Amino acid sequence: MRNVAVIGYGVVGSGTVELFEKNRGDICKKIGRDCDIKYICDLRDFPGDKYEDRLVKDFNVILNDPEIEVVAEVVGGATFAYDYTKKLLSAGKSVVTSNKELVALHGAELLELAKAHNCNYLFEASVGGGIPIIRPLNKCLAGNKIEQISGILNGTTNFILTKMIREQLDFDTALKMAQELGYAEADPTADVEGHDACRKICILASLAFGKHVYPQYVHCSGISRITPDDVEYAENAGYVIKLIGTAKPAGEGHITAIVCPRLVPKSSLLSNVDDVYNAISVTGDGSGDVLFYGRGAGKLPTASAVVGDIIDCLKHKGRIIMIGWDDCNEKDYVVPYKTQETNMYIRVKAADAESLKPAVSELFGKVVYLERNGRPDDELAFITPKMPEQETDEHLAVLSQNAEIASKIRLM
Amino acid sequence: MRNVAVIGYGVVGSGTVELFEKNRGDICKKIGRDCDIKYICDLRDFPGDKYEDRLVKDFNVILNDPEIEVVAEVVGGATFAYDYTKKLLSAGKSVVTSNKELVALHGAELLELAKAHNCNYLFEASVGGGIPIIRPLNKCLAGNKIEQISGILNGTTNFILTKMIREQLDFDTALKMAQELGYAEADPTADVEGHDACRKICILASLAFGKHVYPQYVHCSGISRITPDDVEYAENAGYVIKLIGTAKPAGEGHITAIVCPRLVPKSSLLSNVDDVYNAISVTGDGSGDVLFYGRGAGKLPTASAVVGDIIDCLKHKGRIIMIGWDDCNEKDYVVPYKTQETNMYIRVKAADAESLKPAVSELFGKVVYLERNGRPDDELAFITPKMPEQETDEHLAVLSQNAEIASKIRLM
């Protein structure tokens, strides 16, 4: 039976077709009936492609074919993909996707739509590429109250930071290397400014805490202002700098969610997650800390998650698999990040930096000063005690009358 | 609706009841209907227990109550538990369990029985305690051909080895410490000789490769003969010693499966898994390496997995969730481990150990000699090139004419 379609024949789409066809014998056995890819939808031509006879340009061919049960939407973006997904789900066809943007923006609506039409909307590939995380969080850990999720959710920035840490490169050089290797796009904004990681923490937080978390309410800062000096200070104090997405309950039905670079202690497993790898740590009230690690992106790892979702949809035709989440219109569901307590790494510049120390002590209390090789006289770096970030900022405003605040990075 | 029963009110059973009752509000919401624990079955009395009114001694009360949909079997062992499970599944009641012994011995039969009666037999808690691994392997990675599974599957032995490595303790002292902390039982055989890890790799291999792997066909050696000297040699060469369960395809529809201590390179994430933690690494042809890490045992972590399975059964009443595996009567499905190629760490004792070097070279080719502080004259340690273990053993038989073979540990 040719009951599967793939929309978008780019990197993930071609990986999905490749992996599905390679393992189709086993897949049919797992499902207990025959299955195959009937259509691959893309506006481009692929002359000579192995699956050229399955290529169609008109989405409606898929929508109107009653044989199609499951569609892999690997187009990306939230325009066409949104329209296609709504139409398919409304027609009772399950949709599986790697499209984190769409899930982060419209997940609650699309899950509801799937439920109303007795089909599934699955998105294992939207977070962590080939790493199983959506189903474990939604199913295996369903008996827990989730106390925290933190993760390295973006491979591009993790590669850049790894190069900055291991080879003492500056950000621009490391970014260029990532681009040359195909790990970063020509316009790297979505990755390096943390927007990609932000979408992913939104999806995880929605799953874990049961209400949709919209990206616009989540504070997000990237890694482009991190310097080799920051990396060295951190290293000497037993930390590495990683871009971390975090979400946790904040009491009274609220949560905190934030994406930002953090000083991660070397004793943490997350500090050992290097290069393009991702890792997600989940703390449950029963499970304790569990960690999921693997390739967070790439053609076949992402395809692995997409194909796993296709199999689950085919196996469970006409049955809702996922535990969904509610939509959320409360603007203050995600509490302002500045109310949260954190230790902060601060680097300041001033003509005679040493002379700032009394003022630093008066403002922050007992700080820990950090060192680096050949630290210049006009520089001071320290870690503050834990305090609400609002308070840290007020102190920094005072300090900035006599010094330039060069860096401010949260601790994990 | 009081539709859940728990059989066995020991550590895991009481954890299951505790976690389920604590989070019951959320659980009902996830299932979309009411649920509660109606019976707790145990032969012992628990006077004054919070749930004393739910305690029953007669298993048949549960079996014959049509309200009961799901039963958590956390009795352990393969006698009563086997009988109970068969009766429950035959009556169309789903069973979830942490009982690795039962799954390893009778999993294929019990999965088949569940399928025949349109109910589920789930065992997320049987491997890795609170770590999600069964469902990820069965669902998320279903699109992959699995190329390898290796894991630290037993927390007790990992705790003992961690103490031996970090604090230079000998095996007996570290075992005693584990017993005092409640991590090892009075009779620690099942843990330290690798039988517990063996059951777990059998379950994972059955899932990954689709045929039941029976423990009696899997070679299994434990950690009781590892010495602080071995630990030190390994350390100096960049390795730590871990008890590792491994399974992989061996071509032509066969597999290899083995549990034994191994020298794990410090660059491997598994080398950083310490104390009672477990970690399982799975390599798929699409996903690449993914790793799952967390608490492999303990009251609440194991309960977390049991409760997750209860939720899935309640949510999917009357539908088969798992992709099962076939029974297997081929005696040679697991190929003899001695045919497999491996590098081997060898430690020998002889009056003048240095004089053995020419013989070692002649037998093994280019070996790497290892050092330790104050290595005595009568000792030599080296790592062999990769060769079939059969061949290593033949060379060792020759060498043993002039030396005592004190240690032989496989590399990972």
Q: What is the ipTM of this complex?
A: 0.94
Q: Which of B204, B179, B40, B38 is nearest to B107 (CA)?
A: B204
Work out the average pLDDT over B395-405.
96
Residue pair A178/A306 in contact (Cβ under 8 Å)? The answer is: no
Residue B347 gets the label, from left (phi > 0), alpha (psi -120 to 50) or beta, of beta
Judging contacts by C-beta atoms under 8 Å, the chain A residues touching residue B26 are 145, 210
Residue pair A130/A301 in contact (Cβ under 8 Å)? The answer is: yes
| pLDDT confidence bin for B267, thresholds 50/70/90 | confident
DSSP H helices, B49-170, are: 59-63, 80-90, 100-116, 134-135, 155-166
pLDDT tens by residue, B160-189 = 999 999 999 999 999 999 999 999 999 999
User: Contact A23/B308, CB-based, under 8 Å?
Assistant: no
Q: Which of A267, A220, A127 is nearest to A410 (CA)?
A: A220
Work out the average pLDDT over B342-363.
96
CA distances from B191 to A251, B153, B175, B245, B263 (A): 41, 10, 11, 13, 19
User: Residue A316: its pLDDT value, please?
Assistant: 94
Judging contacts by C-beta atoms under 8 Å, the chain B residues touching residue A143 are 19-20, 23, 27, 303-304, 306-308, 310-311
**CA-CA distance, A10 to B355, in Å (whole number)?**
63
User: Residue A323: its pLDDT value, please?
Assistant: 85
Q: Which of A390, A401, A403 is nearest to A382 (CA)?
A: A403
φ and ψ of B227, to 5 deg? -110, 160
Q: Within chain A, which residue ranges are assigned CATH 3.30.70.1150?
A: 338-411
Secondary structure tally for chain B: helices H, strands E: 14, 18
Bridge-based pairing state of the strands B239-251 and B254-265: antiparallel
Is some CB atom of chain B closer than 8 A to the CB atom of A301?
yes
DSSP A192-210: HTTHHHHHHHHHHHHHHHS
The total of other beta-carbon atoms located within 10 Å of residue A246's CB is 23
DSSP tag of A258: E
Work out the average pLDDT over B387-400.
98
Alpha carbon of B336: minimum distance to chain A alpha carbons (Å): 26
User: Contact B290/A131, CB-based, under 8 Å?
Assistant: yes
**CA-CA distance, A193 to B223, in Å (whole number)?**
48
Q: Within chain A, which residue ranges are assigned CATH 3.30.360.10?
A: 134-295+330-337
Q: Within chain B, which residue ranges are assigned CATH 3.30.360.10?
A: 134-295+333-337
Judging contacts by C-beta atoms under 8 Å, the chain A residues touching residue B143 are 19-20, 23, 27, 303-304, 306-308, 310-311
**CA-CA distance, B28 to B15, in Å (whole number)?**
18
| pLDDT confidence bin for B282, thresholds 50/70/90 | very high
Bridge-based pairing state of the strands A37-41 and A4-7: parallel
User: Residue B66: its pLDDT value, please?
Assistant: 98
* Burial group, residue B83, by CB count within 10 angstroms (0-12, 13-18, 19+): exposed
Residue keyed to tokens 């290397």: A177
CA distances from B166 to A214, B16, B373 (A): 46, 34, 16
Residue pair B177/B297 in contact (Cβ under 8 Å)? The answer is: no
Q: Which residues 13-72 in chain A show a CB within 8 A of chain B?
A: 15, 19-20, 22-23, 26-27, 29-30
Is some CB atom of chain B closer than 8 A to the CB atom of A166?
no
| Nearest CB partner across the interface for B288, out of A294, A315, A316 | A294
User: Contact A286/B307, CB-based, under 8 Å?
Assistant: yes
Judging contacts by C-beta atoms under 8 Å, the chain B residues touching residue A131 are 287, 290
At A178 the three-state DSSP class reads helix
User: Residue B300: its pLDDT value, please?
Assistant: 97
Mean pLDDT (chain B, rounded) = 96
**CA-CA distance, A44 to B89, in Å (whole number)?**
53
**CA-CA distance, B338 to B260, in Å (whole number)?**
13
Residue type, A49: D
Catalytic, A176? Answer: no
At A112 the three-state DSSP class reads helix
Bridge-based pairing state of the strands B121-122 and B219-220: unpaired
Task: Assign domain B134-295+333-337 to its CATH architecture.
Answer: 2-Layer Sandwich (3.30)
Judging contacts by C-beta atoms under 8 Å, the chain A residues touching residue B290 are 130-132, 292-295
∠A63-A65-A66 over CA atoms, to 5°?
110
User: Residue B217: its pLDDT value, please?
Assistant: 96
- Pick the catalytic residue from B200, B242, B248, B408: B200
Total CB pairs under 8 A between chain A and B: 195
Check whether B331 has a pLDDT greater than 90.
no
User: Contact A144/B23, CB-based, under 8 Å?
Assistant: yes
User: Contact A307/B285, CB-based, under 8 Å?
Assistant: no
For the domain B340-411, what is the CATH superfamily, name and number? ACT-like. Chain A, domain 2 (3.30.70.1150)
Residue pair B123/B98 in contact (Cβ under 8 Å)? The answer is: yes
Q: Which CATH number fits domain B4-130+300-315: 3.40.630.30, 3.30.450.20, 3.40.50.720, 3.30.450.40?
A: 3.40.50.720
User: Contact A293/B293, CB-based, under 8 Å?
Assistant: yes
Bridge-based pairing state of the strands A121-122 and B239-251: unpaired
Among all residues of chain B, which has the CA nearest to that of A267? B272
| pLDDT confidence bin for B323, thresholds 50/70/90 | confident
Report the range of poorest mean pLDDT among B36-40, B143-147, B274-278, B321-325. Answer: B321-325
pLDDT in tens, chain A (412 residues): 899 999 999 999 999 999 999 999 999 999 999 999 999 999 999 999 999 999 999 999 999 999 999 999 999 999 999 999 999 999 999 999 999 999 999 999 999 999 999 999 999 999 999 999 999 999 999 999 999 999 999 999 999 999 999 999 999 999 999 999 999 999 999 999 999 999 999 999 999 999 999 999 999 999 999 999 999 999 999 999 999 999 999 999 999 999 999 999 998 989 999 999 999 999 999 999 999 999 998 999 999 999 999 999 999 999 999 888 999 989 899 999 999 999 999 999 999 999 999 999 999 999 999 999 999 999 999 999 999 999 999 999 999 999 999 999 999 9
DSSP B261-313: EEEEETTSGGGG--TTEEEEEEEETTTEEEEEEEE-SSHHHHHHHHHHHHHHH
At A281 the three-state DSSP class reads strand
Check whether B253 has a pLDDT greater than 90.
yes
User: Contact A293/B291, CB-based, under 8 Å?
Assistant: yes
Extract the tokens encoding A112. Answer: 């509801």
CA distances from B395 to A268, B344, B401 (A): 43, 12, 10
Bridge-based pairing state of the strands B70-73 and B4-7: parallel
Q: Within chain B, which residue ranges are assigned CATH 3.40.50.720?
A: 4-130+300-315
User: Contact B20/A143, CB-based, under 8 Å?
Assistant: yes
For the domain A4-131+300-315, what is the CATH superfamily, name and number? NAD(P)-binding Rossmann-like Domain (3.40.50.720)
DSSP tag of B91: T
Class of domain A338-411: alpha beta
Torsion angle in degrees (nearest 10) through CA of B51, B57, B58, B63:
30
The span from the first CA to the last CA of chain A, in angstroms, equals 51
User: Contact B132/A124, CB-based, under 8 Å?
Assistant: no
Q: Within chain A, which residue ranges are assigned CATH 3.40.50.720?
A: 4-131+300-315
Please report how the helices A299-315 and A11-22 are oriented relative to each other, as an axis angle in degrees rounded to 10: 60
Task: Assign domain A134-295+330-337 to its CATH architecture.
Answer: 2-Layer Sandwich (3.30)
Report the sign of the C-alpha dihedral through residues A261, A262, A265, A268, in that order. Answer: negative
- Pick the catalytic residue from A38, A100, A163, A200: A200
CA distances from A113 to A95, A107, A392 (A): 11, 10, 44
φ and ψ of A311, to 5 deg? -60, -45
- Count of residues making up chain A: 412
User: Residue B329: its pLDDT value, please?
Assistant: 87
φ and ψ of B256, to 5 deg? -110, 150
Is some CB atom of chain A closer than 8 A to the CB atom of B351?
no
∠A141-A143-A147 over CA atoms, to 5°?
70
User: Residue A198: its pLDDT value, please?
Assistant: 98
Alpha carbon of B374: minimum distance to chain A alpha carbons (Å): 31
Is some CB atom of chain A closer than 8 A to the CB atom of B209?
no
- Count of residues making up chain B: 412
CA distances from B353 to A391, B30, B234, B364, B385 (A): 67, 66, 19, 16, 20
User: Contact B140/A135, CB-based, under 8 Å?
Assistant: yes
Is some CB atom of chain A closer than 8 A to the CB atom of B225?
no
φ and ψ of A141, to 5 deg? -100, 15
User: Contact B308/A272, CB-based, under 8 Å?
Assistant: no
pTM (two decimals): 0.96
| Nearest CB partner across the interface for A140, out of B19, B132, B298 | B132
